[in-house]
């Protein structure tokens, strides 16, 4: 959510800030602004709407003087999108400027206290409380003042702070929401994510929780809340700006759909050696794995849907009970877990607030936590007991595609690895699973070659108002993701149901012309899903079937079909998800939707 960029050096700051914000717009936003210090005063420019509006009003930032500044893209949580509510926010005298990601949960209480002491507020945001607190409690030393107010702020937040009388420094604060410091020569940077500054530097520090960085042109000093200096290790970003560029594609989402063979290959390649799955990065011993009596999976959004697929796979192979929770509900149901429970947390960013809190809850109860994340050094990766990184590369589009596929690949690796340790996989099945896993990238490529055919189907279906996805067993688990992918970028109402549930209420919604997408890849229940297709067709539904190429009679049951290559049953989701992603993309494109940045959504949800 939101984006932060900061710069201090010898160059004009505003153009750098605006360019950095442009690279963060995938995170979702509704307004943007910058603040620079020209050595005498703050210059603030804010606009509601797209960054292009800010670019126009500032001449790409060239109208704004100053070589130090902070910028922000806002995704509204408190107060409507407007110039007044846009960041940066100044204190009452204009001495302090603040940009903020996250939520200050007790801002109303703090605002009331400050108001009673004569402080007047101009915005409806929680962020303004921070700038006003800084001025109210300023003691003559900015670092001391920041450390003083931090305990007053409840919630998860990242802050970029400037003081008008200190034109040679920016203060960065992290408590929950991610922040990185970019290291340059006689210039340094602040950002909420790597793409914002990757064309400027590849060397970064990642701030940990409750760390404060004092950023100057020629130095970066990181402190803890006791004002002790923290020694940080430099991380060098290996991927290039090309990985975060559209590379000729109209949208990042389409590019990332096409990158899935590479994402899956990269995730599995180094973890299969001499025909064996090797997970050297985890520290779990075989004895620990045998001693777990159940598995809990917690995640949000598409990562949660990976967890639902994983439940079917783990229970089939490992024969251990698996519970899957939406992370935002996990800790509030007081889950029954202990040291004999393995908790798997899944998050692309590694910063998802609800997932992070769920992991901490599980750990407090004694559970061992393995994280599946894409971002090295992220909070979840750092705080988990073990981490398995997906190697999908940067994912820019809000709607995940290649990260989802890479997460599925890790689930397959874990299932095979754990199943072997538990003695639940025969030698023949082990070889078959490994063989099919290695074949996935090429089979995904075969589906991608059908893009034009799927585009043609989308051209005939994009005007539908309601869509139902149905499936059984692992197909039902996958239908959840198909439905989400469609609704989040096309704004078409869609729902996913276990096909057997149709007659328990849902079928009353089927009428003439209703689009039903029936997943029919799971061979053991193929006849049953075909019966469900007949049920909805008899009530007027138009059915698009997705099935394996060895089940050609699906083309007789459904009104139109998309076929995928055959693979072992546990890996079917990796193939069947691809046509659903392509279909969603083109239905949204034919509707004229903003595909990479759908309304009201953010790439990384760093607040509860």
Please list the active-site residues. 2, 603
Binning the chain into helix, strand and coil, the percentages to the nearest 5 are 40, 25, 35
Do the Cβ atoms of 171 and 212 come closer than 8 Å?
yes
How far apart are the C-alpha atoms of 465 and 504, rounded to whole Å? 22
Preceding amide of 429 cis, omega within 30? no
Q: Which two tokens stand for residue 403?
A: 């990260």
User: Please, what is the Cα angle at 111 between 105 and 116, to 5 degrees?
Assistant: 150
57 Cβ neighbours under 8 A, 6+ residues apart: 45, 47
Pairing between strand 3-8 and 68-74? antiparallel
- The neighbouring-strand residues paired with 342 are 295, 368
Q: Which two tokens stand for residue 583?
A: 């279909």
- The torsion defined by the Cα of 240, 241, 244 and 245, in degrees rounded to 10, comes to -130
- Residue 50 CA, chain-centre distance (Å), reads 21
Do the Cβ atoms of 34 and 6 come closer than 8 Å?
no
519 Cβ neighbours under 8 A, 6+ residues apart: 469, 470, 471, 475, 476, 478, 479, 482, 529, 546, 547, 576
16-32 residues labelled b (16+ CB within 10 A) or e (exposed): bbbbbbbbbbbbbbbbb
Q: Is the dihedral of CA 187, 190, 194, 196 positive or negative?
A: negative
How far apart are the C-alpha atoms of 3 and 29, rounded to whole Å? 8
Q: What is the DSSP string of 176-233?
A: SS--EEEE-SS-EEEESSGGGTTTT-SEEEEPPTTEEEEE-SS-EEEE-TT--B----
How far apart are the C-alpha atoms of 478 and 482, rounded to whole Å? 7
């Amino acid at each position: 959510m939101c984006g932060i960029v900061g710069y201090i050096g010898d160059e004009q700051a505003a153009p750098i800030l605006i360019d950095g914000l442009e690279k963060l717009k995938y995170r979702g936003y509704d307004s943007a602004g910058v603040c620079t210090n020209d050595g005498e005063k703050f210059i603030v420019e804010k606009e509601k709407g797209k960054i292009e509006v800010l670019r126009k009003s500032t001449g790409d930032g060239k109208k704004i003087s100053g070589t130090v500044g902070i910028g922000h893209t806002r995704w509204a949580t408190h107060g409507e999108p407007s110039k007044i509510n846009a960041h940066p926010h100044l204190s009452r005298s204009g001495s302090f400027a603040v940009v903020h990601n996250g939520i200050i949960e007790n801002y109303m209480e703090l605002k009331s206290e400050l108001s009673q002491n004569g402080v007047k507020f101009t915005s409806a945001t929680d962020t303004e409380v921070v700038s006003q607190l800084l001025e109210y409690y300023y003691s003559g030393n900015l670092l001391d003042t920041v450390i003083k107010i931090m305990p007053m702020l409840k919630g998860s937040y990242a802050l970029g702070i400037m003081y008008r009388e200190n034109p040679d420094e920016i203060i960065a604060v992290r408590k929950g929401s991610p922040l990185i410091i970019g290291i340059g020569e006689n210039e340094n940077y602040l950002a909420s994510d790597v793409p914002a500054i990757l064309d400027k530097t590849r060397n970064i520090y990642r701030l940990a929780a409750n760390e404060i960085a004092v950023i100057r042109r020629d130095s970066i000093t990181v402190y803890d809340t006791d004002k002790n200096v923290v020694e940080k290790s430099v991380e060098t970003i290996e991927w290039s700006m090309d990985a975060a560029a559209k590379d000729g594609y109209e949208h990042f989402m389409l590019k990332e759909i096409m990158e899935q063979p590479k994402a899956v290959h990269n995730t599995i390649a180094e973890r299969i050696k001499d025909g064996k799955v090797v997970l050297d990065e985890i520290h779990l011993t075989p004895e620990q794995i045998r001693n777990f009596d159940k598995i809990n999976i917690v995640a949000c959004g598409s990562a949660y849907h990976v967890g639902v697929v994983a439940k079917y796979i783990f229970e089939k192979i490992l024969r251990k009970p698996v519970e899957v929770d939406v992370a935002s509900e996990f800790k509030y149901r007081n889950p029954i877990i202990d040291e004999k429970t393995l908790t798997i947390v899944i998050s692309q960013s590694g910063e998802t607030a609800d997932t992070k809190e769920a992991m901490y809850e599980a750990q407090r109860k004694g559970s061992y936590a393995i994280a599946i994340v894409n971002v090295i050094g992220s909070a979840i990766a750092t705080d988990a007991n073990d981490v398995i990184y997906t190697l999908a590369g940067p994912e820019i589009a809000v709607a995940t595609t290649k990260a989802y596929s890479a997460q599925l690949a890790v689930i397959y690796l874990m299932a095979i690895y754990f199943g072997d340790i538990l003695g639940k996989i025969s030698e023949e099945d082990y070889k078959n699973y490994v063989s099919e896993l290695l074949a996935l990238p090429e089979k995904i490529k075969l589906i991608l070659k059908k893009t034009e055919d799927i585009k043609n189907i989308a051209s005939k279906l994009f005007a539908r108002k309601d869509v139902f996805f149905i499936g059984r067993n692992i197909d039902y688990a996958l239908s959840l993701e198909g439905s989400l992918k469609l609704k989040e970028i096309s704004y078409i109402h869609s729902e996913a149901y276990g096909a057997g549930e149709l007659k328990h209420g849902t079928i009353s919604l089927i009428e003439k012309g209703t689009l039903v997408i029936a997943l029919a890849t799971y061979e053991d229940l193929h006849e049953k899903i075909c019966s469900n297709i007949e049920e909805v067709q008899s009530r007027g539904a138009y059915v698009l079937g997705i099935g394996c190429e060895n089940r050609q009679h699906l083309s007789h049951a459904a009104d139109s079909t998309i076929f995928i290559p055959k693979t072992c049953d546990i890996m079917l989701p990796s193939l069947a998800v691809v046509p659903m992603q392509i279909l969603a993309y083109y239905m949204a494109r034919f509707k004229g939707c903003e595909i990479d940045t759908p309304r009201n959504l953010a790439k990384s949800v760093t607040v509860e």
